[in-house]
């Protein structure tokens, strides 16, 4: 084994990490630090910020944007963009609501149709970008307008169509019972620990150097401790009027987001499709010469993006109990792009992870929520979020310069 340096120690691992950070490979570090700093600031300035009720609210508020951002990451990894992702969520949401409310369909077939609509939107965008060669910025800008038009036609001018289906509304408005919440936490933690241990064992069996056990334990149990704290606080009563209604437990949408996180992370990290996405984003010509079907990879990325947007559409209509011509509109798309970039995904392609969407989405939601609590006008919130996005994109550009 001539290539690798001797077995790492905790100190050398830290040193390696630090040199990576210095060379510009900072990943999600700014998002994590930013999240901590923002929470500290808002906690001292508003007595309501760090209450269980607001924490749960923050998660459900961020959910839709996070799911769109998770889809966008597939497209951003290629160095492309989907500006229509907000309105494709709106269109899918409208299809769901119209089928359930106006045509009395069950939620399951209606959801299936709305997701198929997402897939079709992705196929259209992806084909235009990949096979016709129109830049994604232009195609999706056109689709941004077209989907907005479709949504307007579906929802009816100025109209709002309500939805009362229990399952759909539950996504953003119901919680698991505290007992089930803990059971879910324990089950998920056990799986997480097992998969980490399995990976190390397999590498050792193959005679390969594996990650330092202490470091792995530190990261894993640190993350699980933070999650335990979150579950504990979500299990506290957060209803203003307990006699009327009791509110406690993990919001259902959190489970949905974690499921997408796990599946997406698996695809990106463990399958050849994921590897090819990174390769095309890193050097499309190299990928092509290696025999990768670059056009198909690009098409697939847009399909995945729009499909996740359709799921975000479900979250939006669940939260609002309705669909309107502005569902998925306003700042939704910019918040989602911001979430991905703030989380550490590069706009230049080739760099990004599913978890970036969650970290960045939380940063965006904390700014929105915290400044709202402090009584700032929407205008100020937009300006601050815009500046944060600009700073993240600047950091992205600088770190790219630093590494090349």
Partner 1 sequence: MSEPILSLRNINKSFGAVHVLRGVDLDIYPGQVTALVGDNGAGKSTLIKCIAGIYTPESGDYHFDGKPVTVSGPRDATALGIEVVYQDLALCDNLDIVHNMFLGREKKKGVTLDESHMELLARQTLDGLSVRTVKSIRQTVSSLSGGQRQTVAIARAVLWNNKVVILDEPTAALGVSQTEQVLHLVRRLADAGIAVVLISHNLTDVFQVADNIAALYLGTMAAQVKLSEVSTNQVIELITTGKSAGVTKTEAKK
Task: Please report how close the Cβ of residue 89 comes to partner 1 at its closest, in angstroms.
Answer: 29
195 interacts with partner 1 by CB under 8 A: no
Instruction: Please work out, in degrees rounded to the nearest 5, the angle formed at the alpha carbon of residue 96 by the alpha carbons of 90 and 102.
Output: 115
**Beta carbon nearer to partner 1, 178 or 282:** 282
Closest distance to partner 1 from the beta carbon of 23 (Å): 7
DSSP single-letter state for residue 100: I
Query: Measured from the CB atom, is 206 or 244 closer to partner 1?
Result: 206
259, 270, 380, 398: residue in contact with partner 1 (rule CB under 8 A): 270
Stretch that binds partner 1, among 53-61, 141-149, 203-211, 239-247 (CB under 8 A): 203-211
Q: Residue 167 interacts with partner 1 (CB under 8 A)?
A: no
What is the spatial distance between Cα 312 and Cα 87, in angstroms, rounded to a whole number?
10
Nearer to partner 1, 208 or 380 (CB): 208
Among 238, 248, 319, 351, binds partner 1 (CB under 8 A): 351
Whether residue 224 contacts residue 192, with contact meaning beta carbons closer than 8 Å, is answered with yes
Contact between 264 and partner 1 (CB under 8 A)? no
Choosing from 76, 91, 154, 292, the residue that interacts with partner 1 (CB under 8 A) is: 292
Which residues touch 152 (CB under 8 Å, ≥6 apart)? 325
> Whole-number minimum distance, CB 37 to partner 1, in Å?
29
Quickly list DSSP for 42-84: HHHH-TTTTSHHHHHHHHHHHHHHHHHHHHHHHHHTTT---TT
Q: CB of 5: closest distance to partner 1 in angstroms?
A: 6
Both tokens of 358, joined, read 């969650």
Q: Does residue 79 bind partner 1 (CB under 8 A)? A: no
| Site for partner 1 contains 179 (CB under 8 A) | no
The SS3 of residue 251 is strand
Report the residue number, 193 or 200, with the smaller CB distance to partner 1: 200
Q: Which two tokens stand for residue 9?
A: 């120690």
Q: Shortest gap between Cβ of 215 and partner 1 (angstroms)? A: 15
Q: How far apart are CA 36 and CA 215, in angstroms?
A: 22
Inter-residue long-range contacts of 155-162, CB under 8 Å, 24+ positions, other chains counted: 155/94, 155/323, 155/324, 155/325, 155/327, 157/325, 158/325, 159/324, 159/325, 160/322, 160/323, 160/324, 161/94, 161/97, 161/98, 161/101, 161/102, 161/322, 161/323, 161/324, 162/97, 162/101, 162/321, 162/322
Site map 25..54 versus partner 1, x via CB under 8 A: x-----------------------------
| Residue 281 found at the interface with partner 1 (CB under 8 A) | yes
Tell me if 157 contacts partner 1 by CB under 8 A: no
Assigned token pair, 315: 């979250």
Is 6 one of the binding residues for partner 1 (CB under 8 A)?
no
> Site for partner 1 (CB under 8 A): which residue of 132, 206, 244, 245?
206
Contacts of 76 (CB under 8 A, 6+ apart): 337, 340, 341, 345, 346, 347, 349, 352
The nearest distance, CB 205 to partner 1, in angstroms, is 8
Per CB under 8 A, contacts with partner 1 among 354-373 are none
Total site size for partner 1, rule CB under 8 A: 34
Residue range at the interface with partner 1 (CB under 8 A); choices 143-151, 270-278, 304-312, 329-337: 270-278
| DSSP H helical ranges for 248-377 | 252-270, 272-282, 284-289, 294-320, 332-343, 354-373
Which residues of the chain form contacts with partner 1 (CB under 8 A)?
Answer: 1-5, 23, 25, 202-203, 205-208, 270-272, 275-276, 278-279, 281-283, 285-287, 289-292, 350-351, 403-404
């Amino acid at each position: 084994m001539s290539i690798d340096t001797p077995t790492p120690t905790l100190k050398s691992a830290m040193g390696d990490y630090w040199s990576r950070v210095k060379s510009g490979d900072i990943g999600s570090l700014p998002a994590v630090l930013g999240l901590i700093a923002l929470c500290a600031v808002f906690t001292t300035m508003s007595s309501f910020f760090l209450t269980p009720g607001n924490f749960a609210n923050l998660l459900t508020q961020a959910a839709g944007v996070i799911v769109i951002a998770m889809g966008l990451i597939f497209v951003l990894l290629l160095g492309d963009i989907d500006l229509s992702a907000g309105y494709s969520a709106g269109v899918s949401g409208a299809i769901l609501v119209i089928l359930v409310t106006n045509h009395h369909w069950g939620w399951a077939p209606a959801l299936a149709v709305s997701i198929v609509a997402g897939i079709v939107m992705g196929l259209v965008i992806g084909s235009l970008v990949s096979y016709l060669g129109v830049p994604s910025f232009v195609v999706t800008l056109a689709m941004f307008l077209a989907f907005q038009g479709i949504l307007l036609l579906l929802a009816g001018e100025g109209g709002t169509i309500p939805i009362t289906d229990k399952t759909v509304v539950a996504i953003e408005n119901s919680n698991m019972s505290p007992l089930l919440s803990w059971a879910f936490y324990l089950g998920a933690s056990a799986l997480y620990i097992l998969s980490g241990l399995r990976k190390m064992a397999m590498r050792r069996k193959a005679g390969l150097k594996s990650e330092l056990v202490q470091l792995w334990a530190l990261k894993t149990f640190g993350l699980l401790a933070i999650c335990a704290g979150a579950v504990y606080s979500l299990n506290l009563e957060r209803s203003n009027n307990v006699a009327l209604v009791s509110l406690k437990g993990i919001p259902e949408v959190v489970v949905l987001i974690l499921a997408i996180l796990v599946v997406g992370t698996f695809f990106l990290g463990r399958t050849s499709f994921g590897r090819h996405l990174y390769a095309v984003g890193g050097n499309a010509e190299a990928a092509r010469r290696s025999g990768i079907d670059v056009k198909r990879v690009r098409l697939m990325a847009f399909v995945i993006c729009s499909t996740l947007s359709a799921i975000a559409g479900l979250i939006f209509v669940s939260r609002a109990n309705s669909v309107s011509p502005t569902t998925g509109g306003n700042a939704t798309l910019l918040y989602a792009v911001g979430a991905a970039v703030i989380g550490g995904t590069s706009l230049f392609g080739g760099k990004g992870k599913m978890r970036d969407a969650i970290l960045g989405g939380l940063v965006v939601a904390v700014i929105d929520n915290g400044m709202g609590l402090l009584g700032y006008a929407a205008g100020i919130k937009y300006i601050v979020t815009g500046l944060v996005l600009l700073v993240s994109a600047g950091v992205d550009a600088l770190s790219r310069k630093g590494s090349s």
